[in-house]
Structure 1
Amino acid sequence: MTAFNSTWNAGSELARSRREAALARIAAWRALEARAADASARAQPLFDKRGQLLPRQRVALLLDAGAPWLPLCTLAGYLQDTRDAAKSVPGGGMLAGIGFIEGVRCMVVASDSGIEAGAIQERGLEKMLRVQEIALQNRLPFIHLVESAGANLMRYRVEGFVHGGALFRNLARLSAAGLPVVTVQHGSGTAGGAYMPGLSDIVIMVRGRSRAFLAGPPLLKAATGEVATEEELGGAEMHTAVSGLGEYLAEDDRHALGIARQVVRGFSDAFGPPAQVHGALAAIKNKANGAAEPTLSAQDLLGLMPPHHREPVDMREVAARIVDGSELLEFKPLFGSATVCAQASVGGHRVGIVTNNGPIDVAGANKAAHFIQWMCQLGHPILYLQNTTGYMVGKDSEQAGMIKHGSKMIQAVTNATVPQITIQCGASFGAGNYGMCGRGYAPRFLFSWPGAKTAVMGGEQAARTMQIVTEAALARKGITPDPAESQAQFDKIVAMFEAQADAFTTSGLLLDDGVIDPRDTRAVLRFCLDTITEGAAREVRTMQFGVARM
């Protein structure tokens, strides 16, 4: 491979203006994440009074100090709890991410009990299901820090109750797949929440704080007339000494987290440091350690992408700032050149890259389909850097068979036998979202840059289409459209599409696994590729059923 010859002028006025716009978006995203942390921290006096740690403190103590941590779905639920952007608190009521405990790469989930007592939110449920799926796909032990008021009955929806059963189904699947499920019960777990420890392999409870019961005192009295205390029904001492729901009794949060680390240490031989897992993985790690950093600066990524996606971008410039040594081996560079396919390495991992320098035309779709199959034959993961307005339209394109050729590309993406990772860098419009492995095509991981846009089409295109259709309908009736009304409708449609296309909105809807800083793209990709490779190398002991509690 040869190093990419960049022609981008990072010091130009164009780059400067784009950089300022990107930094503004990054600041807005970080402020949203800080909003959730601040909302949770306001419960500090109550937690201090109870002798408890805040959720973020718990996660920090559980994880290995200084080890990498990949947070997931931090904007979950944004603009779903309220349409007021100034008041919406993102996060879905929980913290989630992939990190290391005693050298073991794990999925870690914690109830954000500083917000609404950790009540499960609608998008929080979706977030939990998504991270459970990631854990299953990548063979990650599942560590759950629980303190939740359960479902918010004031926001009860029957579909949430029904779909919520998948949360417990997935815990059983994780255990049966040979992936340890460890729960630290920091506080309450009522009704369905009681099945979180019930479906865990190991449960750690905190004296005087842990609660787990199918019906708490109020419901019990309402349903049967029986009167009982919380401790009698589901306290930590009762469950560790009488019911057997808990294995370990801790004195406080710190003690419980220390026990959790010891439990993870106990299975570290099977799931531990990469060099001990599999010889092939150790070889990849050694290669990764010697991988050359890009020769082009990641800082340039802030200035490369325009904020409105109407200006062309050479996405090879983006790829060259992510891959080892800035080296790319382009595949069919002269054929279907608006669709860029290239082989490269990221942190020592061989990958195939598919990205866009314009709409996907017939030649580009065929090239991408060929390249995807080639990568499957080689066993190389595929990285999609999305920046497309979709498949080419027009008489010539239709007559050339755009539908059938685009379908071949979608067939290849759908049936690819290697892991796929998607980064939504810029535009993700129309069926281009599908052909470039959008959320509906189940990439192993999918992240968005703060300025990314996702929609069936651009706002102005949608508004102009509706305007043409409306004016034609009025003309058939002999009515002349009012220019002011027509413009008002046009502006309304544009605003509606732009609001929904925004990366913060789509991330709030769990249409990605989180927003990332463009400058961190290489680090995130390396982490994900390491996770995928390590998971594939783990020799888990699957069972017909999960570990049954005795």
Structure 2
Amino acid sequence: MTTLGTGLDSRTAEYRANREALLGKLAELDAEQAKALAGGGPKYTERHHKRGKLLARERIELLVDQDGPFLELSPLAAWGTEFPVGASVVTGIGVVEGVECLIVANDPTVRGGASNPWTLRKTFRANDIAMQNRLPVISLVESGGADLPSQSEIFIPGGRAFRDLTRLSAAGIPTISTVFGNATAGGAYVPGMSDYTVMVDGRSKVFLGGPPLVKMATGEESDDESLGGARMHGSTSGLADYVATDEVDAIRLTRRIVARLNWRKLGPAAQAVEDPLHDEEELLGLVPTDPRIPFDPREVLARLVDGSRFDEFKPDYGTSLVTGWADLHGYPIGILANARGVLFSEEAQKATQFIQLANAKDTPLLFLQNTTGYMVGAQYEQGGIIKHGAMMINAVSNSKVPHLTVVMGASYGAGNYGMCGRAYDPRFLFTWPNAKSAVMGPVQLAGVLSIVARQAAAAKGQDYDEEHDAAMRQVVEGQIEQQSLAAFLSGRLYDDGVIDPRDTRTVLGLCLSAIHSGQIKGAEGYGVFRM
């Protein structure tokens, strides 16, 4: 059993500069996340409150256990697009009556809670998390349906939202819908396809077509209550299982439903939890301002894992990748953390063996990314870097134990794949605000394009325009830099959120607890390893 020490000196100018730079990025992140928290803005928030209705996050706050955690997911969804930050829906994991649940809450202050293309993607991601981790789903519904101007991007893929609910139910994962207002057109199928449905008297309106549409389609004169009111659905159609007197009562009934689920976790229970020996506050000064400068991930681990204990595997082989065993919030984990950015053949082979060992003993894996990718060059190509990198990616792809990924710094090239990037379906993936991800660094990518253009000009016997080359490099570097930033990537749901490094241990602990709602079982076979 090895206890990690620390060589970090918080008195140095470098530490202070790193800390100030990261605090600046966190301030920028807070400003962007505030846009999601603001919903549709003061005007629509005030109007909503005047109607005696709660906001989406107020509903969630009442729903989850008092002082219980709520881990919000994808708060920057749609950042950098034409749609509002947050995508008009709040998703996350919260503890309700002692049960970890996946919560999806429409934000009716943003275009009436209408679903846009990013709302769908965010909801789909939430449903995937619920299915993978065996989490009951609670939908807090108040939406006017599809955002009609973007219907061409919503209608066809949007059917998956209803399919997901039925598949969750078929998998024995409870689904609960609590309707606070409109749930019209396609949105009516959310309560219709849920296991349990709660509606609010005088508030809920659930129908395929409202009075104007019914009038146009059939000539029938009708009103909201007779078409889709809570009392009608509670006494006549049978769609409502419970009719609440008001929103607070609806939340009370929802909590009682969860309390009666008789829900049991299938994974091993957490053991005794110990705090790390070193201060998580120091994580802010650990990350260099220049992403090209590596840092020792053991310093991160000393501030993440229980008791700062870490049993390193193959410490003297493939030293650009740190691997080993630890506990985090009482759960055993295997850890792979980039130490010096580049992955060589030795690192790839070491990772492959380690991943197989984790699967053999049913232990979840944590990937801490800070990589520029696999090494290139004639020496390394001849040494088999492609087949060794492929071995590592094969192991990651076919591993069956749950994976967690945190992007601490760089995440470039195939290193993103080997270290379990989004395409490799980690159960959860979070990013630090300083992190960057792209096919390669901006300078390198612009340089490659420049070399290719020079070679093309030479092949045609043409002179090369240096001024044009300099301008091209500048434009490309700026574009790639912008598209590699954490907010840009999070806005496109390539992660589950950008987090403060100081919150990493807490976030991972919540995720590990959620993961253990289901069974933890390793792979029994892999594809062919090219040796």
| TM-score, structure 1 normalization | 0.91
Distance 2:436 2:215 in 1: 52
**Residue 74 of structure 1 corresponds to which residue in structure 2?**
75
**Residue 167 of structure 2 corresponds to which residue in structure 1?**
173
**What SS is found at the alignment partner of 2:20?**
helix
Contact preservation (8 Å) 2:48, 2:54: yes
Aligned AA (1:107): L
Deviations 1:413-471, CA, capped at 9 Å, x for gaps: 01112111000111100000100000000011111111111101001110000011111
**Residue 236 of structure 2 corresponds to which residue in structure 1?**
242
Distance 2:214 2:444 in 1: 58
Contact preservation (8 Å) 2:116, 2:154: no
**Residue 334 of structure 2 corresponds to which residue in structure 1?**
352
Contact preservation (8 Å) 1:41, 1:54: no
Deviations 1:38-66, CA, capped at 9 Å, x for gaps: 23452233223322111111111111110
- What RMSD in Å do the two structures reach over aligned CA positions? 1.5
Distance 1:75 1:496 in 2: 20
**Residue 114 of structure 1 corresponds to which residue in structure 2?**
109
Aligned AA (1:27): A
Distance 1:453 1:487 in 2: 24
**What SS is found at the alignment partner of 2:38?**
helix
Distance 1:317 1:232 in 2: 64
Q: Is 1:154 matched up with 2:154?
A: no
Contact preservation (8 Å) 1:51, 1:252: no
Q: Give 5+ residue unaligned stretches, structure 1.
A: 83-88, 272-276, 538-550
Q: Determine which of 493, 498, 503 is the counterpart of 2:481.
A: 498
**Residue 270 of structure 1 corresponds to which residue in structure 2?**
263
Q: Give 5+ residue unaligned stretches, structure 2.
A: 521-531
**Residue 451 of structure 1 corresponds to which residue in structure 2?**
434
Distance 1:121 1:446 in 2: 23
**Residue 529 of structure 2 corresponds to which residue in structure 1?**
none
**Residue 325 of structure 2 corresponds to which residue in structure 1?**
343
Distance 1:77 1:44 in 2: 20
Q: Is 1:297 matched up with 2:290?
A: no
Distance 1:491 1:220 in 2: 58
Give the CA deviation at 1:345: 1.2
Contact preservation (8 Å) 1:94, 1:124: yes
Deviations 1:365-406, CA, capped at 9 Å, x for gaps: 000001110111121111000000000000111000111010
Distance 1:192 1:73 in 2: 24
Aligned AA (1:101): V
Give the CA deviation at 1:270: 2.5
Distance 1:306 1:192 in 2: 49
Distance 2:136 2:164 in 1: 13
Q: Pairwise mapping of residues 529-548 of structure 1 onto structure 2 (< 5 A)? A: 529-536=512-519
Distance 2:362 2:11 in 1: 39
**What SS is found at the alignment partner of 2:125?**
helix
**What SS is found at the alignment partner of 2:376?**
coil
Distance 1:390 1:44 in 2: 46
**Residue 540 of structure 1 corresponds to which residue in structure 2?**
none
Q: Determine which of 396, 410, 418 is the counterpart of 1:427.
A: 410
Distance 2:123 2:501 in 1: 25
Deviations 1:52-102, CA, capped at 9 Å, x for gaps: 1111111111111101111111111111226xxxxxx31111111111111
Q: Pairwise mapping of residues 146-545 of structure 1 onto structure 2 (< 5 A)? A: 146-157=141-152, 159-267=153-261, 269-271=262-264, 281=268, 284-285=269-270, 287-288=271-272, 291-357=273-339, 358-536=341-519
| TM-score, structure 2 normalization | 0.95
**What SS is found at the alignment partner of 1:186?**
strand
**Residue 543 of structure 1 corresponds to which residue in structure 2?**
none
**What SS is found at the alignment partner of 1:204?**
strand
**What SS is found at the alignment partner of 2:52?**
coil
Contact preservation (8 Å) 2:136, 2:175: yes
**What SS is found at the alignment partner of 1:393?**
coil
Give the CA deviation at 1:536: 2.7
**What SS is found at the alignment partner of 2:102?**
strand
Deviations 1:185-225, CA, capped at 9 Å, x for gaps: 10111111010000011111112211111112233333333
Distance 2:277 2:242 in 1: 52
Deviations 1:487-517, CA, capped at 9 Å, x for gaps: 1110110111111111111111011111111
Number of aligned residues: 518
Range moving further from structure 2, 302-311 or 11-20: 302-311
Taking every aligned residue pair, what percent have the same amino acid on both sides?
46
Aligned AA (2:60): V
**Residue 541 of structure 1 corresponds to which residue in structure 2?**
none
Distance 1:225 1:515 in 2: 52
Give the CA deviation at 1:10: 2.3
Contact preservation (8 Å) 2:117, 2:150: no
Distance 2:39 2:439 in 1: 34
